[in-house]
Amino acid sequence: MRDPLMKKSDIHQGRGFTLIEMIIVVMVIAILVGVVIGVSKMIAARAANEKTRMYMETISLAIETYYESTKDYPYQETDIPETPDDWRWTSRDWHAFMRNKKLYQQLIAVPSAQKRLAVLPEDAVRNIYGENVFIDGFEMLLDYFRSGGVGGSPVLISAGPDRTFDTEDDIRSDNR
């Protein structure tokens, strides 16, 4: 039985949250989740960027070691066949694949350069179409140009976070 002295507002006091309170709680949780996801993506991109730079530094050292042994830089694949029909990326990526494949083969063929590459983590090399190639921290192909860097030196290029070559976020081993 209800106490006749109890006010109507006292009756609803212990029944739980109102709809407005629930909406506010859900909105606060959604904002917090959005912030956490945004920060975690930023941290992941920064880590991939650092990983890419580390891979490039190691491969660049192997290229310099190759030069010391052979008195020439690894040559750049220029006779590139047409992009195959089953290639799932762009034709620009096909060219990067062909240059990357040739670079890997040349560096591995020189023992001192191969020794430099031995410190690369396993995930820096991937087998694509039966060929080993170097990849970046974003799990995309690195591209190689024998004389495309500052002063005509060799350069490695990563497509960067947007995974598209020839855009502003590309990462270059010559830091240009």
Give the tens place of pLDDT for each residue, 119-142: 999 999 999 989 999 999 999 999
Is 4 inside a domain boundary?
A: no
Is 12 inside a domain boundary?
A: no
- Hey, what are 94's tokens? 């096909």
Residue whose entry in the numeric block shows the structure tokens 């591995």: 108
Longest dimension (CA), the chain: 102
Using CA atoms, how far apart are residues 140 and 161, in angstroms rounded to an integer? 10
pLDDT in tens, 83-119: 888 888 888 888 899 999 999 999 999 999 999 999 9
pTM reported for the whole predicted model:
0.79
3-state secondary structure of 128: strand
- Hey, what are 99's tokens? 């240059």
Is 148 inside a domain boundary?
A: yes
**Type of residue at 26:** V
Is 69 inside a domain boundary?
A: yes
pLDDT of residue 63: 96
pLDDT of residue 12: 54
Is 9 inside a domain boundary?
A: no
Is 127 inside a domain boundary?
A: yes
Q: Cα-flanking dihedrals φ and ψ of residue 140, to 5°? A: -120, 165
**Residue 29 CB partners (closer than 8 Å, separation 6+):** none
- Hey, what are 126's tokens? 């991937």
Count of domains in the chain? 1
Q: Is the pLDDT of residue 1 over 60?
A: no
Using CA atoms, how far apart are residues 53 and 156, in angstroms rounded to an integer? 10
Is 124 inside a domain boundary?
A: yes
What domain range includes position 109? 18-172
Sheet strands (E) in the chain: 125-128, 131-134, 142-145, 155-158, 171-172
Is 72 inside a domain boundary?
A: yes
Helices (H) and strands (E) in the chain, counts: 4, 5
- Please classify residue 67 by burial: count the beta carbons closer than 10 Å to its beta carbon, then call 0-12 exposed, 13-18 middle and 19+ buried: middle
